Amino acid sequence: MVLLLFVTCRQVYDPKIQASNTNLLVVEGVLNSGQGPTVIRVSRTTDVNDTALNPETNAQLTVEGDDGNKFSLNENGNGKYSVDQLQLNSNAKYRLDIKTVDGKEYASDYSSVKNTPPIDSITWQRENGGVRIYVNAHDPQNATKYYQWKYEETWEIHSAFYGSLEYIFDVRHRAIGVKYKYPDHSIDSTIYKCWNTLNSFSILLGSTEKLTSDVVYLPVQYIEPHSEKLSVLYSINLRQYAVSHDNYLFLQKMKKNTEQLGTLFDAQPSEISGNIHCLTVPGETVIGYVEVSQEQVKRIFIANSQVPGWNLQSGCFETAIANNSDSIAKYGGGLMPVSVDSLDPLRGITWFWASPPLCVDCTLRGVNQKPAFWP
C-alpha cells in the first residue's frame, strides 16, 4: 500500500514556460586579424521548446575600421558569413556592421586589434581509459590573460567488412538474388574508407589573471574509451584567441547559461549583454560579443597504434544467406550483401554473407572524400 501511494503521487513536472525574448539577433564569431578566414554566424533565438536553428539569411555584413576601410563578408548559407582574409591595420579599431532584411542595422563596439600568442603544443595522455587532450601556450609579455579556444575534430573510419556484392531486384523492387558489383569481382572501395568532422560546441575558456606568469596548460577535449574517433586515425585542429576581460566575462555567462543548467544546484540563468547594439531601435536586446583577435592554429594527429588496447566494439556481425528470393526475404531483412560464402561448380553464387548497412557502407556515417590535410 505504501509503494502504491508513492507511485500514484508521482507526476510529470511540465512547467508552462512563457515564450519571451524570442527572435533576438545572435551574433557569433571573431574578426580574425591573423592569417586565414573570418567566419561570423548570425541567427535568431527561438522558443525554449524549439530545437531547430533559426539562421538569419540575406543580411549584409561589413567590417568597418575607424580609418575608413571596409571589408564585406559573403553569405555562405545557413546564417554563415565569411571573408577569406582581412587586411587590418594594427593601429586602427574595427567593428562589425550588420544590416538585416527587415531594415534594421546593428553594430558592435569598435575593438582594437589583439595579438594572440602562438600555441606552444597540443599534448595528450590516457585518462580513465580514454584520451584527454591539452593545450599549452604562454605569453612572454604577460599581456594576454584571457583565452578562448575552438576546434575541429576529424577522424578516419573504416567499414567492418569489405563489400563486393549487390542485390538483384525484380520489377516490384524485391531482392531476388545477389551479383558482383564489378566484373573483376573487386571490392567497392568507395564505401570502405570515410571521414567525419565535428566542430566544438562547448565554450572553452582559460585565464591566467591570478597566476604570476601568463602560462596555460588546460584540457580542451576528452575522447571516450573505445570511441570510433580513434579506431584508425584522429586529428584535432585547435584555434586559439586572445580575448578582452569584458568578452571573457560575457563568454563565462554564456557558458553558464547554455552548459551548466539543468538541476536545482546549477547556476541560474542570467541576463546576457554583449557589445553589439541595434542602431535603428536603441534598447533592443542583441546577443553576441565581436572583437578583433589574431587567430593562432595548430593541428596534431593521433593514430590507433599509439593507444594500444583501444578495442573498438563495433557490434557488427555477418549472416550467411542462401542466394534465392525466399532466403533473402526471410533472413536478409535490413541487411546488405557483403561477400561470397560459396559457389556452385559453374562459379555461380550459392551462399553469401550479409551484414547491417552501417557495417558495410561507411558513407552512412561519414563522407568518402579524403580531406586535403590528411596524410
pLDDT tens-place string over residues 138-169: 999 999 999 999 999 999 999 999 999 999 99
pLDDT at site 85: 97
- Is the per-residue pLDDT at 216 higher than 50? yes
Is the CATH code 2.60.40 the one for domain 19-113+244-290?
yes
Joined together, the cell numbers standing for residue 16 give 508552462
Q: Can you say how many angstroms the Cα of residue 32 is from the centroid of all Cα atoms in its chain? A: 20
**Mean pLDDT of the residues in the chain:** 92
The domains of the chain are located at 19-113+244-290, 161-194+316-364
Contact 234, 302 (CB under 8 A): yes
Helix (H, G, I), strand (E, B) or coil at 248: helix
Per-residue pLDDT of 69-116, as tens digits, reads: 999 999 999 999 999 999 999 999 999 999 999 999 999 999 999 999
The SS3 call for residue 326 is helix
Q: What is the mean pLDDT of residues 28-42?
A: 97
Question: Which H or E element spans position 245?
Answer: helix 245-259
pLDDT of 9 > 80? The answer is no
Three-class DSSP category at 30? coil
Residue 204 to residue 153: CA distance in whole angstroms: 15
The DSSP annotation for 329-357 comes to: HHH-TT-EEEEEEEE-TTS-EEEEEEE-H
Indicate the DSSP class of residue 21.
Answer: S
**Closest listed residue to residue 177, CA positions, set 337, 325, 318:** 325
